[in-house]
């Protein structure tokens, strides 16, 4: 019975995702149409049993990325796992296809490489080059802010990769510190190509129907804080989008926060449209000037987007001394490791045998499809947390909302308790409602009773990353690694005073 259901699902999914078939009947006039296309990164017949699953690198809106070591070769990959049912239900097939086909055609040391793909009844798997150094975002958070030399190193590597990508006719559209990953030795790799947009004259082959639902509905693609003003005014995407986002990213490296920060997306958009940007005094003249130019309201005036191409960007005084031809041979800034139980672990080379590997944590395909276990959250290898089964894999927070209710703010935070700290998803809705959810079990863990009266509900910020929510007879302490404590306070108080 299970097999039949699985088989049906696979067929349905295949019909939506079959690249070769789509290409074969392509009669459209798309600029990037292909009569025949062969993937470079092969579609393998592997199964999850061929890998030893390790820690979870991160969770995206429709995927989970897990460290996975191929048993026969010992090679380590970042396995991006996507639940077919979820992707189909959420109309994300266009993103998946696009990311797969685009990554397949890109070869640059500053861009994450796709090694191979495979699938089973429930999931699609993309074996990506593993970035052991984590997100640039976390380096900024851990260091507070970067020195100008450190920022210059990272921005130069990003510029080098963007130049390649833009020359290939691709706009990334979601450049931000979370999508800039670091290798174990600290070099930058651009990741997350789900929002990519090929230009008219792109050298990249895409599918004729590779337009996402959001695109068709012309809602904006990307991340609120890094989106340029013209996109908010529904102008078509240009490479200027990425250059604006680069300006925001440099600002964030140097200051610790993005330039257009506010409590809600709507307020952020107001700031972007007004180009309400204020430079801290400690930014150098050159850094201010470069950011100011990258944040030009006119996308064509942003350095890199004008008629002289990338020369005007690379020749900017901020980059004085950069040897653009040998950029990847320079020594990267020191990486600050994560604090906590995992920090003592070797974050070193992909081939380093890792004592936390445990043969018992391989996916259980017999009962639930695929289960993966997080073995690195504790040095004790017997501590194995089973993650949500594939059915609830990646399911969104929507299930905790009523019809018409929408999320105003959401953060993966730590709820500090006497004996143990719990990771929870804290959600504030427009109802207003304040709840926290267990992200792995996808179970509601608590509701903080709402009151407009600050005597019955108040929020105290104790540092940029920690805050307390005070309700009658109870104080709940949270830690937000993304340092949004003040934003939480602002958002809750704004709702109380609405
Ligand atoms: N190659 C990789 N090596 C190491 N970690 C990775 C790699 N690719 C992704 N990650 C981590 O996994 C997380 C999830 O990645 P994914 O591409 O699925 O989604 P995302 O970019 O975070 O979100 P969304 O899809 O919602 O835009 C990332 O935030 C990143 O921290």
List the structure tokens of 40: 């470079």
Q: Which of 56, 58, 372, 481 to mutate to test the pocket of ligand 1 (most atoms within 8 A of CB)?
A: 58
| C-alpha span between 229 and 302 (Å, rounded) | 13
**Same domain for 256 and 217:** yes
- Whether 226 is covered by a domain: the verdict is yes
Instruction: Decide whether any atom of ligand 1 lies within 6 Å of the 80 Cβ.
Output: yes
- Whether 338 is covered by a domain: the verdict is no
Residue 467, domain CATH: 2.30.29.30
Query: 202 Cβ partners below 8 Å, 6+ apart?
Result: 31, 32, 168, 169, 170
List the structure tokens of 459: 């929020």
Domain boundary residue, one of 129, 156, 183: 129
Show the CA angle centred on residue 108, arms to residues 114 and 193, nearest 5°: 50
Contact 280, 255 (CB under 8 A): yes
Instruction: Decide whether any atom of ligand 1 lies within 6 Å of the 136 Cβ.
Output: no
Domain boundary residue, one of 269, 301, 329: 329
How far does residue 309's CA lie from ligand 1's centre (Å)?
Answer: 30
**Same domain for 322 and 227:** yes
- Residue 487 pLDDT: 82
| C-alpha span between 257 and 340 (Å, rounded) | 23
**Same domain for 169 and 276:** yes
- Whether 438 is covered by a domain: the verdict is yes
pTM of the model: 0.69
**Same domain for 282 and 152:** yes
**Same domain for 244 and 165:** yes
Domain boundary residue, one of 104, 129, 154: 129
Instruction: Decide whether any atom of ligand 1 lies within 6 Å of the 240 Cβ.
Output: no
Q: Which of 113, 183, 186, 191 to mutate to test the pocket of ligand 1 (most atoms within 8 A of CB)?
A: 191
**Same domain for 115 and 175:** no
Which of ligand 1's atoms lies nearest the C-alpha of 129?
1
pLDDT, one tens digit for every residue, the chain (498 residues) = 334 444 555 555 555 665 543 443 333 334 455 545 678 899 899 999 999 999 999 888 889 999 999 999 999 999 999 999 888 888 888 889 889 999 999 999 999 999 999 999 999 999 999 999 999 999 999 999 999 999 999 999 999 999 999 999 999 999 999 999 999 999 999 999 989 999 887 878 776 555 554 454 445 667 889 999 998 888 888 999 999 999 999 999 999 999 999 888 888 999 999 999 999 999 999 999 999 999 999 999 999 999 999 999 999 999 999 999 999 999 999 999 987 654 433 333 343 333 332 222 223 232 233 323 332 332 222 222 222 222 222 345 667 877 667 777 778 888 988 777 888 888 888 889 999 988 877 788 889 999 999 989 999 988 888 999 999 888 899 998 877 888 888 889 888 988
Residue 69, domain CATH: 3.30.200.20
Instruction: Give the residue among 292, 259, 255 at the shortest CA–CA distance from 147.
Output: 255
Domain that holds residue 57: 2-129
- Residue 224 pLDDT: 87
- Whether 335 is covered by a domain: the verdict is no
| C-alpha span between 177 and 263 (Å, rounded) | 19
- Whether 325 is covered by a domain: the verdict is yes
For the chain, how many structural domains are there in total?
3
- Residue 202 pLDDT: 82
**Same domain for 147 and 116:** no
Q: Any long-range contacts for 11-17 (C-beta under 8 Å, 24+ apart)?
A: 12/88, 13/84, 13/85, 13/87, 13/88, 16/88, 16/93, 17/93, 17/96, 17/97, 17/124
How far does residue 180's CA lie from ligand 1's centre (Å)?
Answer: 9
How far does residue 183's CA lie from ligand 1's centre (Å)?
Answer: 14
- Residue 498 pLDDT: 81
Catalytic residue among 83, 104, 174, 374, which?
Answer: 174
262 is catalytic: no
Strand 458-463 with 466-471, pairing: antiparallel
- Whether 86 is covered by a domain: the verdict is yes
- Residue 219 pLDDT: 52
- Whether 342 is covered by a domain: the verdict is no
Residue nearest to atom 4 of ligand 1 (CA): 131
- Residue 295 φ/ψ region, left for φ over 0, alpha for ψ in the -120 to 50 degree band, beta for the rest: alpha
| C-alpha span between 45 and 75 (Å, rounded) | 17
**Same domain for 173 and 99:** no
| C-alpha span between 76 and 70 (Å, rounded) | 6
List the structure tokens of 424: 């929870």
Residue 206, domain CATH: 1.10.510.10
What's the length of the chain? 498
**Same domain for 172 and 122:** no
Q: Which of 56, 173, 192 to mutate to test the pocket of ligand 1 (most atoms within 8 A of CB)?
A: 192
Instruction: Decide whether any atom of ligand 1 lies within 6 Å of the 485 Cβ.
Output: no
**Same domain for 157 and 118:** no
How far does residue 8's CA lie from ligand 1's centre (Å)?
Answer: 29
SS (H, E, C) the chain: CHHHHHHHHHHHHHHHHCHHHHHHCCCCCCCCCCCCCCCCCCECCCCHHHEEEEEEEEECCCCEEEEEEECCCCCEEEEEEEEHHHHHHCCCHHHHHHHHHHHHHCCCCCECCEEEEEECCCEEEEEEECCCCEEHHHHHHHHCCCCHHHHHHHHHHHHHHHHHHHHCCEECCCCCHHHEEECCCCCEEECCCCCCEECCCCCCCCCCCCCCHHHHCCCCCCCHHHCCHHHHCCCCCCHHHHHHHHHHHHHHHHHCCCCCCCCCHHHHHHHHHCCCCCCCCCCCHHHHHHHHHHCCCCHHHCCCCCCCCCHHHHCCHHHCCCCHHHHHHCCCCCCCCCCCHHHHCCCCCCCCCCCCCCHHHCCCCCCCCCCCEECCCCCCCCCCEECCCCCCCCCCHHHHCCCCCCEEEEEEEEEECCCCCEEEEEEEECCCEEEEEECCCCEEEEEECCCCCCCCCEEEEEECCEEEEEECCEEEEEECCCCCHHHHHHHHHHHHCC
Instruction: Decide whether any atom of ligand 1 lies within 6 Å of the 223 Cβ.
Output: no
**Same domain for 175 and 56:** no
Instruction: Decide whether any atom of ligand 1 lies within 6 Å of the 194 Cβ.
Output: yes
How far does residue 312's CA lie from ligand 1's centre (Å)?
Answer: 31
Query: ipTM value of the model?
Result: 0.98
Instruction: Decide whether any atom of ligand 1 lies within 6 Å of the 131 Cβ.
Output: yes
Query: 492 Cβ partners below 8 Å, 6+ apart?
Result: 428, 434, 457, 459, 469
List the structure tokens of 200: 């008219």
Query: 101 Cβ partners below 8 Å, 6+ apart?
Result: 19, 37, 39, 204, 205, 206, 207, 210
**Same domain for 199 and 113:** no
- Whether 364 is covered by a domain: the verdict is no
């Amino acid at each position: 019975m299970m097999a039949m259901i699985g088989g049906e699902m696979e067929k349905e999914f295949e019909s939506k995702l079959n690249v070769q078939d789509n290409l074969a009947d392509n009669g459209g006039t798309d600029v990037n149409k292909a009569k025949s296309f062969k993937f470079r990164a092969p579609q393998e017949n592997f199964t999850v049993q061929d890998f030893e699953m390790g820690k979870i690198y991160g969770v995206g809106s429709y995927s989970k990325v897990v460290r996975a070591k191929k048993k026969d070769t010992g090679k380590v990959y970042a396995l991006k796992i996507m639940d077919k049912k979820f992707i189909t239900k959420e109309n994300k097939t266009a993103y998946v296809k696009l990311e797969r086909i685009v990554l397949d055609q890109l070869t640059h040391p500053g861009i994450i490489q796709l090694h191979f793909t495979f699938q089973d009844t429930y999931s699609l798997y993309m074996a990506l080059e593993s970035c052991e150094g984590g997100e640039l975002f976390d380096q900024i958070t851990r260091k507070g802010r970067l020195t100008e030399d450190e920022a210059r190193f990272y921005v130069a590597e990003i510029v080098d990769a963007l130049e390649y990508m833009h020359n290939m006719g691709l706009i990334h559209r979601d450049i931000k510190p979370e999508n800039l990953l670091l290798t174990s030795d600290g070099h930058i790799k651009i990741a997350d190509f789900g929002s990519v947009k090929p230009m008219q004259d792109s050298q990249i082959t895409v599918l004729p129907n590779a337009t996402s639902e959001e695109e068709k509905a012309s809602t904006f693609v990307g991340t609120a804080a890094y989106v340029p003003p013209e996109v908010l005014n529904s102008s078509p995407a240009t490479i200027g989008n990425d250059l604006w986002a680069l300006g925001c990213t440099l600002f964030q490296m140097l200051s610790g926060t993005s330039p257009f920060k506010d409590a809600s997306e709507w307020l952020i958009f107001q700031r972007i449209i007004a180009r309400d940007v204020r430079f801290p005094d400690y930014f150098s003249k050159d850094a201010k000037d470069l950011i100011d130019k990258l944040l030009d309201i006119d996308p064509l005036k942003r350095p890199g987007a004008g008629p002289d191409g990338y020369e005007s960007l690379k020749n900017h005084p901020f980059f004085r001394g950069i040897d653009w031809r040998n950029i990847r041979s320079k020594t990267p800034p020191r990486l600050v490791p994560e604090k906590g139980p995992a920090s003592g672990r070797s974050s070193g080379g992909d081939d380093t045998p890792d004592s936390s590997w445990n043969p018992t944590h391989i996916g259980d395909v017999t009962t639930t499809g695929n289960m993966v276990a997080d073995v690195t959250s504790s040095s004790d290898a017997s501590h194995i947390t089973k993650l949500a089964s594939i059915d609830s894999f990646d399911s969104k927070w929507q299930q905790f909302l009523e019809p018409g209710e929408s999320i105003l703010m959401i953060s993966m935070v730590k709820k500090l308790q006497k004996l143990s700290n719990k990771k929870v998803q804290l959600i504030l809705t427009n109802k207003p409602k304040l709840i926290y959810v267990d992200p792995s079990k996808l179970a509601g863990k608590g509701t903080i009773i709402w009151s407009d009266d600050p005597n019955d509900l108040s929020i105290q910020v104790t540092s940029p990353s920690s805050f307390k929510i005070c309700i009658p007879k109870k104080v709940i302490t949270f830690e937000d690694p993304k340092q949004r404590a003040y934003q939480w306070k602002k958002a809750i108080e704004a709702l109380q005073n609405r």
